[in-house]
Structure 1
Amino acid sequence: MTPLPTLTPQPRDPAAMLAQTLAQWDPHQDLWLFGYGSLIWRPDFDYAEQRPAKVHGWHRALKMWSRVNRGTPECPGLVFALLTGGSCRGMVFRIERHRVLDVMPPLWDREMVNAVYDPRWLPCQTPHGTVKALAFTLSRKSPNHTGVLPDPEYTRIFAQARGRYGTTHDYARATHEGLVKMGIHDRALARLLALAPRQDD
């Protein structure tokens, strides 16, 4: 019996994924975006409003390999992703409808450079009601999902990984500080940051 050929996964096309995402947006409405990592402290886009928000069924996790923004192919770093389970507190941003087509391409280049995330529209609870917002999630089946990493691996990554936007450690620390300013205490993130090598080591 002739063995079946092994299928190699096709690379994902960021432009096609952006077009598909925008096709799911009502151009007569403003677009909401859920930020749970660097978007909280460095949005880098024009928005009309921001609100604290909470998503159920997903949680923030420093478990996605980064080979461009916070690491390299030779020394991958880590970035946050939304993984299934639990809940996540963050921020939603309202982008006015007439600005969406200008805001989304550079945002896509930042967040979807390798088309790793799965963009999803998620209900986000805010103090002024629930809004459906675009969020960048990650499948546990993705090759970019780290799975469970031992503590010494986090220490090594914090010490070594650097990409086009800086180090993994600076990214994680800035996210923690941004969350604290919002009154959000992410104990899992605080524990990981305690694993970072001391500056004078």
Structure 2
Amino acid sequence: MDEFWVFGYGSLMWNPGFPSHKRAHARLSGYHRSLCVYSYVHRGTAETPGLVLGLDRGGFCEGVAFAARNDDEEAVMAYLRARELVTRVYRELVLPIRLESGDTVPAVTYVVDHSHKQYAGKVDIDRAADIVRRGHGQSGPNRDYVLNTVDHLRQMRIGDAALESVAKLLLNEQPRPRHG
């Protein structure tokens, strides 16, 4: 094989930032997409963190698989590591994904590290929307990240109820009263 695969489940789906010669709908088992990572760089700061997606344990995740040429591997991996491992909140793993064709291929995947201080765990929808509203980092507003991801999931006919609920609150733009 003269290619390697990368699995995207968040902004990589709509902004991969590296050359690929194939793109396919794919499914990763054993992990699910979750707004479970405090962003200190791309969509927030240490003082005002944003909230971004991570692959957390359990379930499955549908996303996009990109095939890149082996000749580009050094440059692609350097780019991905600079982008995804900036604070080391993710672990780079090669995991099996199932392509829409039915083939299973190994793919470079970024999974959240539960022991990292930026791991937010399970965040309820109201709190997630509040954090996202305030977040803004080097890559722009956190709100744009969430809405772009939801838009691309819809285009791919991938349902994500939790992310859709956060997006609905963001589009409503009405801060919800805090209780307790």
The two structures share one fold, judged by TM-score above 0.5: yes
Bigger fraction of residues in strand? 2
Q: What do residues 58-85 of structure 1 show as CA deviations (whole Å, max 9, x unaligned)?
A: 0000110110000011100011110110
Q: Which moved more, 1:145-154 or 1:127-136?
A: 145-154
- Residue in 1 aligned with 2:178? none
Find the partner of 2:35 among 45, 48, 62: 62
Distance, in Å, in 1 between the alignment partners of 2:125 and 2:83 is 28
Identical amino acids, percent of aligned pairs: 33
**TM-score of the superposed pair, with normalisation by structure 2:** 0.90
State the shift of 1:195 in Å: 2.5
Partner of 1:149: 123
Superposition RMSD in Å: 1.7
Aligned equivalent of 1:89, options 41, 59, 62: 62
Q: Structure 1 pair 139/113, CA: closer, same or farther in 2 (3 Å)?
A: closer
Aligned AA (2:28): V
Native 8 Å contact 1:63 1:80 kept in 2: yes
Q: Which amino acid aligns with 1:71?
A: G
Q: How many residues are treated as equivalent by the alignment?
A: 174
Q: Secondary structure at the match of 1:104?
A: helix
Q: Is the 8 A contact 2:35 2:51 kept in 1?
A: yes
8 Å Cα contact 1:159-1:197 kept in structure 2:
no
Asked if the contact 1:154/1:195 (under 8 Å) is kept, the reply is no
Q: Structure 2 matches for 1:28-39, cutoff 5 A? A: 29-39=2-12
TM-score by length of structure 1 reads: 0.81
Looking at structure 2, the residues matched to 162 and 32 of structure 1 have their Cα atoms a distance apart, in angstroms, of: 30
2:112 equivalent among 132, 135, 138:
138
Flag structure 1 segments of 5+ consecutive residues without an equivalent: 1-27
Shift of residue 163, structure 1, vs aligned partner? 0.2
- Which of 53-62 and 107-116 deviates more? 107-116
Task: Specify the alignment match of 2:136 in structure 1.
Answer: 162
The question of 1:114 aligning with 2:96 is answered: no
Report whether the alignment pairs 1:71 with 2:36.
no
Instruction: Please list the CA deviations of residues 125-172 of structure 1 after superposition, one character each: whole Å capped at 9, or x if unmatched.
Output: 112301110100013332211123344422321221100001111101
**Secondary structure, counterpart of 2:93 in structure 1:** strand
| Uncovered stretches (5+) of structure 2, i.e. residues with no partner | 176-180
Give the 3-state SS of the residue equivalent to 1:196 in structure 2.
helix
Rg comparison, structure with higher value = 1
